[in-house]
Amino acid sequence: MSKNKIPIWVIVIVLGFCLLIAAGVGMFVWVSTTAVPIHPDPNAVQSVTRSSPSQKWASAVEQAQQIARAGVSEQNLPGLSVAVSVGDEFVWAEGFGWTDLDRKSTVTPETKFRVGEASKALTSAGVGVLLEKNALKLDEEIHTYVRDFPKKEWPITLRQLMAHTAGFRDDPGDEAWMQPCDRTVDGFKLFSRDSLLFEPGTKYEPSTYGWILVSAAVEDASGEPFFTFMRTRVFEPIGMTATRPDSSREEIPDRATFYFPRFAADPRYGPEAVREGDHTCFAGASAFLSTPSDLVRFGMAVNSGKLVQPATVKMLQTAVQLPSGEGTDYGLGWKSETLTLSGQPAHMAGHGTKGDFIGGTTYLMTFPDRGIVVAAMTNISFADTKTVALKIAEVFAKAK
């Protein structure tokens, strides 16, 4: 063989690589050229509200409506729903765009979206209710409450599970396990055989699976099914009548149609409908449906101490620090950040949905020191609802 002759296998690899690049470029060009904007004109985005704001907030609501419409148009979202409270006043709720693209049905304040990862904040409050009754203890080994779960290399506490420091891997975010579970412990099949990634308490690694165990502990300590406890002891007492599990086994009024970006995890390239599924296996980790209005009611109740005592709220919302001294920006089911609001640093306690959650993106944002709560929900994955919520919070902070 000549020294200058290129081996056949090298040529095959290079050609294969070039074909992959060409296919990727071709797919990008095709998707880009065939993507049709859902709402090309932000001013023409359909919307529904049930009541007019008071004169005090009329200007702020008008600005917030413009922010919401711009978000729908710029991000190419099918629909978006927003609600806001300031102090003890529920100020505004409005739906924008389409809850179903084929039927062109409009989002309303009653449209139910997937809460996704933000379900953890709701479940955290349920834990708080039981902590105050001394029915749960954060530093008790989880097997005290969940005896059906196999023991791991190290003991695991409820606190570690809630803080994402227990060492479990995260859910991959696909549709493989979108099936119903009759009991919370049925969700263990998703991860019970996994080894821990690290010794609990030493590192921070977000894990949806860990919160299935938290839900099982709530179920054991309360003596009733998890979803029943959350409905009767958390939701109903504060008027959250629209919040419920995302089950495929019954008709759910006002449930949105859910979508996923068809390319590059970016809604701007257009949506495709996700297949029907069931999230009940994920329990308090990510199984709830709700409305922004209900999430705002939840935030108001937490901020005012109506649901659990202020000391309990502070404990749940305080960011956990690792033994190394590294901060996590995460409490016990709550994201804890310092953001800028009307030019000043402001503590934000809330929770959002990871972009890859199937069929929706949610952000609940509370500013306890400012008395502002904002919730934004959409029916497509990988949307930036956090930025929309923060811009709207800024408007109301300036209007106070």
CA distance 267 to 159: 36
Confidence (pTM)? 0.91
Residue 98, strand partner residues:
106
Mean pLDDT of 353-369: 88
CATH class entry, domain 42-123+225-399 = alpha beta
CA distance 351 to 362: 8
Q: What is the DSSP letter of 153?
A: S
Percent of the chain with pLDDT over 90: 80
**pLDDT bracket for residue 2 (50, 70, 90):** very low
Task: Indicate if the pLDDT at residue 7 is higher than 80.
Answer: no
CA distance 220 to 287: 18
Give 284-307 pLDDT, tens digit per residue: 999 999 999 999 999 999 999 999
CA distance 149 to 153: 13
Give 154-196 pLDDT, tens digit per residue: 999 999 999 999 999 988 765 555 678 888 999 998 899 999 9
31, 367 Cβ separation under 8 angstroms:
no
CA end-to-end span of the chain: 82
Give 52-110 pLDDT, tens digit per residue: 999 999 999 999 999 999 999 999 999 999 999 999 999 999 999 999 999 999 999 99
Mean pLDDT over all residues of the chain? 91
Give 31-56 pLDDT, tens digit per residue: 555 568 999 999 999 999 999 999 99
CA distance 109 to 82: 8
Structure tokens at 304: 């005012």
- Listed by start position, the domains of the chain span 1-34, 42-123+225-399
Report residue 286 CA to chain centroid gap. Answer: 7
- The helix/strand/coil state of 260 is strand
Percent of the chain with pLDDT over 70: 89
CA distance 91 to 400: 12
Write the single-letter amino acid at 372.
I
Question: Strands, E, within the chain: which ranges?
Answer: 47-49, 79-86, 89-100, 105-106, 113-114, 244-245, 259-261, 271-273, 288-290, 335-341, 344-352, 361-367, 372-378
Give 313-333 pLDDT, tens digit per residue: 999 999 999 999 999 999 999
